């Protein structure tokens, strides 16, 4: 992983890729283009599918633009899809001129030529239908997304130099970036996202406009900002996008905890600052994602790695010998993470998962060279819950020391901890850790009705399970009665 721009692509390779991709898409783009042409309408493959075709990326979701209005589009698509008994159309995007359709393995969306502009104080765009392909392309976010292929016929339309920008891996806007970002401020977030997804650099004039207009992002809903942030974090090169957000000041508005880390020295003085350390931890966590059942990208793991040290600015203390401490930054960081994710409208489950990882990321350092008792290991597993594998990744990724021997020692120690967890899991089924008696049995033994006291008794037995391992039901009954008598 690196901030270095990826090497350029030759124009010849771009042309070859688009020819090969269009040949593969011919079974859908040619008959669909002919269906619209027969009704007197223009149709063009546009945006991401054209960009990806030039990059040699294959997928089955295709975006088209057309001179037809939504009613005509829907009529043509229904007829085209009717030859497939599983074919279907939908119109959830009708207000924006978009009709969707599925036929065989293909999913297409066809949108009427349009222009959309944000009122300076509005979070929602006003949509006007247009009459020309050129006008539609001119309103798009970046030149690499402002290319089209007319169908049928496969005429490539590139009015703004998108092919050259794609070949040289540069992100530019079709017109003045100030006008583009004024029309839709979310495009500033999209610039960072595309940089992260494609490994592109961003043109200086675009960076300048993003910096000058960062405050405009405030009119965009939290949900739309969140969605772009998730795509950025899950991209192949998230450092590129995050660095752009921080350098332009956008991060100050959408994720202020990240730029705040630039001011904090790492307590080990092994890194330029905690900000750089954090980006390195993120990249190292990505490298370990193969440990997860589904592989990567995994947003929860990546965002936990990104947020793991956000509590340091609030907890920094200078010691008399010149060193710096960040006591309890794990707990403070978990609270800040929870608050930020709530503001960005993440789900309760995502908030809980990420904040749990942030709060537990330091726990391993109390392990020393293996001094933990089996009870402590059980508590580690219990507290991590279903986030244990992600915690393994974040904890391992948090080691960014340049001291090779120290790094190897930490890795060996964590290997040993995982081995202990595995041994205890096999012997005691740690993943399903629960007391020997359930709630109904507790009520029967103690003669209780449902209530707070049953919960207290259950917690006592669970703590006993963690401290001493598996107990028989009879032993658990005896210990429960002794605890109850001594209350």
- Convert the pLDDT of each residue in 382-426 to its tens digit: 899 899 999 999 999 999 888 888 889 889 999 999 999 888 877
Token pair of 279 as six digits:
């980006």
- Is the predicted pLDDT of residue 476 greater than 90, yes or no? no
Where residue 253 falls among pLDDT bands split at 50, 70, 90? very high
Segments of the chain assigned to CATH 3.30.460.10: 11-167
Where residue 114 falls among pLDDT bands split at 50, 70, 90? confident
**Domain 256-432: CATH architecture, name and number where available:** Orthogonal Bundle (1.10)
- Is the predicted pLDDT of residue 226 greater than 80, yes or no? yes
Where residue 255 falls among pLDDT bands split at 50, 70, 90? very high
- Is the predicted pLDDT of residue 266 greater than 70, yes or no? no
| CATH annotation of 11-167 | 3.30.460.10
CA dihedral 442, 447, 450, 451 (to 10 degrees): -90
Segments of the chain assigned to CATH 1.10.3210: 256-432
Q: What are the E-state strand segments in 93-233?
A: 98-103, 106-112, 114-118, 125-129, 147-150, 155-158, 170-171, 201-202
> What's the pLDDT score for residue 315?
87
Of the candidates 174, 153, 152, 150, the residue with the CA atom closest to the CA atom of residue 162 = 174
- Is the predicted pLDDT of residue 270 greater than 60, yes or no? no
> What's the pLDDT score for residue 432?
60
pTM across the whole model:
0.83
- In this structure, are strands 147-150 and 43-46 parallel, antiparallel, or unpaired? antiparallel
Q: What 8-state DSSP symbol labels residue 146?
A: S
**Order of all β-strands in the sheet with 147-150:** 88-90, 98-103, 106-112, 61-66, 43-46, 147-150, 155-158
> What's the pLDDT score for residue 1?
39
Q: Could you give the count of Cα atoms lying within 13 Å of 316 in the half-sphere of its Cβ?
A: 16
- Is the predicted pLDDT of residue 3 greater than 60, yes or no? no
Where residue 87 falls among pLDDT bands split at 50, 70, 90? confident
């Amino acid at each position: 992983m690196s901030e270095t721009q990826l090497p350029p692509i030759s124009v010849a390779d771009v042309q070859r890729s688009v020819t090969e991709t269009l040949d593969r898409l011919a079974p859908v783009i040619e008959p669909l283009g002919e269906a619209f042409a027969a009704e007197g309408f223009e149709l063009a493959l546009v945006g991401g599918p054209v960009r990806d075709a030039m990059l040699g990326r294959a997928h089955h979701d295709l975006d088209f633009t057309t001179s037809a209005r939504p009613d005509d589009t829907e009529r043509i698509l229904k007829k085209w899809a009717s030859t497939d008994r599983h074919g279907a159309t939908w119109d959830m995007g009708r207000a924006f001129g978009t009709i969707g359709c599925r036929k065989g393995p293909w999913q297409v969306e066809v949108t009427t030529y349009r222009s959309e502009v944000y009122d300076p104080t509005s979070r929602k765009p006003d949509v006007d239908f247009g009459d020309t392909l050129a006008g539609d392309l001119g309103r798009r976010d970046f030149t690499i997304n402002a290319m089209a292929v007319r169908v049928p016929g496969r005429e490539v339309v590139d009015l703004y130099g998108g092919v050259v920008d794609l070949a040289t891996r540069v992100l530019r806007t079709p017109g003045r970036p100030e006008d583009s970002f004024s029309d839709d401020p979310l495009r500033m977030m999209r610039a960072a996202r595309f940089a992260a997804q494609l490994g592109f650099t961003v043109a200086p004039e675009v960076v300048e406009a993003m910096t000058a207009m960062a405050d405009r992002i405030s009119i965009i809903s939290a949900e739309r900002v969140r969605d772009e942030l998730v795509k950025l974090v899950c991209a192949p090169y998230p450092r590129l996008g995050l660095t752009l957000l921080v350098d332009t000041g956008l991060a100050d508005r959408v994720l202020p905890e990240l730029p705040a880390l630039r001011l904090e020295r790492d307590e080990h003085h092994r890194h330029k600052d905690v900000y750089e350390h954090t980006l390195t931890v993120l990249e190292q966590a990505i490298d370990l994602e193969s440990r997860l059942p589904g592989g990567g990208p995994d947003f929860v793991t990546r965002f936990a790695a990104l947020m793991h040290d956000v509590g340091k600015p609030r907890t920094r203390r200078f010691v008399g010998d010149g060193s710096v401490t960040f006591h309890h930054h794990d707990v403070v960081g978990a609270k800040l993470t929870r608050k930020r994710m709530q503001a960005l409208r993440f789900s309760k489950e995502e908030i809980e998962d990420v904040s749990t990882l942030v709060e537990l990321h330091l726990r391993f350092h109390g392990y020393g060279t293996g001094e933990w008792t089996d009870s402590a290991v059980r508590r580690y597993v219990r507290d991590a819950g279903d986030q244990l594998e992600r915690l393994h990744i974040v904890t391992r990724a948090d080691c960014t020391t340049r001291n090779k021997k120290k790094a190897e020692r930490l890795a060996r120690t964590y290997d040993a901890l995982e081995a202990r967890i595995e041994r205890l899991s096999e012997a005691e089924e740690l993943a399903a850790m629960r007391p020997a008696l359930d709630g109904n049995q507790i009520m029967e033994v103690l003669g209780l009705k449902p209530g707070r006291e049953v919960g207290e008794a259950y917690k006592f037995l669970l703590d006993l399970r963690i401290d001493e391992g598996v107990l028989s039901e009879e032993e658990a009954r005896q210990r429960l009665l002794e605890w109850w008598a001594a209350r």
